[in-house]
Amino acid sequence: MSAAHTVSGALSAESVALMARTLAELGQLPDPTTLTPEQGRAQSAFASARCNLNLPPMHSVSEVWIDADLELGSDRCRLKILVPKGAGHGAILFIHGGGFAFCSPETHERCARTLAIESGMPVVLPDYRLAPECPFPAGLKDVVSALRHVFSATAASGVTRGPLLVAGDSAGANLALAAMLHEEAAGRPLPDGGLLFYGNYAWSFDTPSYVQFSEGPGLTRGKMQRYWDFYAGGQNIEGDPLACPLVATEEQLAAMPPLYLMAAEVDPLLSDTLLLSQRLKALGRSDELSVIPGVMHGFLQNTSELSAAREALAAAGNAARRQAGR
């Protein structure tokens, strides 16, 4: 598989059982990328609800807003703040996925709460602007603003200054890495580390994993092409590292803080993570890479039903502790 990683393409028995239960409960839902944005978001929220039952308890859950920054180009943005019991100093800024177009802090809340518990750190989720109404770089600018103001905005909500990590899944991993590249180019301080889960990092649809899993299960090549079209909004973004981080220069990637890369083995986006790992290793870096066998894109949403998701987030939490110096 691209970066010398061969996969069987077989889902685990646990993943197959989860797919069967989901189909039985929700029925065969239409491809959300073929719906209107409003319909797609409503369906994504409906489908995600089953993943967010019996939420793990937190010490506190709150929300704050950060103001628009006209110079940066960010909009007013809501932050959801999850503080676990016994939280230490610092925070994880978690950027939810959803193809740049769907989902919210609420659709990813169980995943974020689990990461908060496993890392022992508060997790803050920005409700950034979504495509296609707000194409690149709107959502990125909101994420950058959240990165810059996360501690000042959450000081009254149980978050204390300390190590700052940036995390994200799928399109959120793209935005997390792009935000770090943005701040590096601006000469601003970078976070202490990054946790990047099955991200899409390039405008490229012919990688080995895109070929092998072009029709899924779950995420397909066609869906990803439409998600990228939503994000681009008619712009030519494939050569811009703030949209497609895999085209960043060696100098830009070398300047990144320590990264923890996680990929799902049965996923069209697997090659994106493997190629990013290759580029980082070629620079002499020692960023961690974890490829989770037998699971498909988005599996971290299912911590209540997949032991693989629970184990993967426990490993990510340990990585966060290492990056935070704990």
283 SS3 class: coil
Q: What separation in angstroms does the CA of 245 have from each of 191, 301, 312?
A: 17, 24, 24
Give the pairing of strands 77-83 and 123-126. antiparallel
Tell me if residue 170 is catalytic.
yes
- The answer to whether residues 65 and 78 touch, using CB atoms and an 8 Å cutoff, is yes
- The answer to whether residues 240 and 247 touch, using CB atoms and an 8 Å cutoff, is yes
CA distance 199 to 174: 6
Catalytic residue among 267, 271, 272, 277: 267
Tell me if residue 96 is catalytic.
no
- Cis peptide bond prior to 293, omega within 30° of 0: no
Tracing tokens 């409960």 back to the chain, one arrives at: 25
76 SS3 class: coil
**DSSP3 helix / strand / coil % (the chain, rounded to 5):** 40, 15, 40
User: Which parts of 170-218 are beta strand (E)?
Assistant: 193-197
- The answer to whether residues 291 and 270 touch, using CB atoms and an 8 Å cutoff, is yes
Q: Name the nearest CA neighbour of 200 among 228, 238, 174, 230.
A: 174
Catalytic residue among 15, 119, 170, 271: 170
CA distance 209 to 27: 27
CA distance 51 to 35: 22
Neighbours of 21 (CB within 10 A): 12
Tokens of 113: 């709460």
Interhelix angle 37-49/13-26, rounded to 10 degrees, is 120
Tell me if residue 267 is catalytic.
yes
User: Where in the sequence numbering do the catalytic residues fall?
Assistant: 170, 267, 297
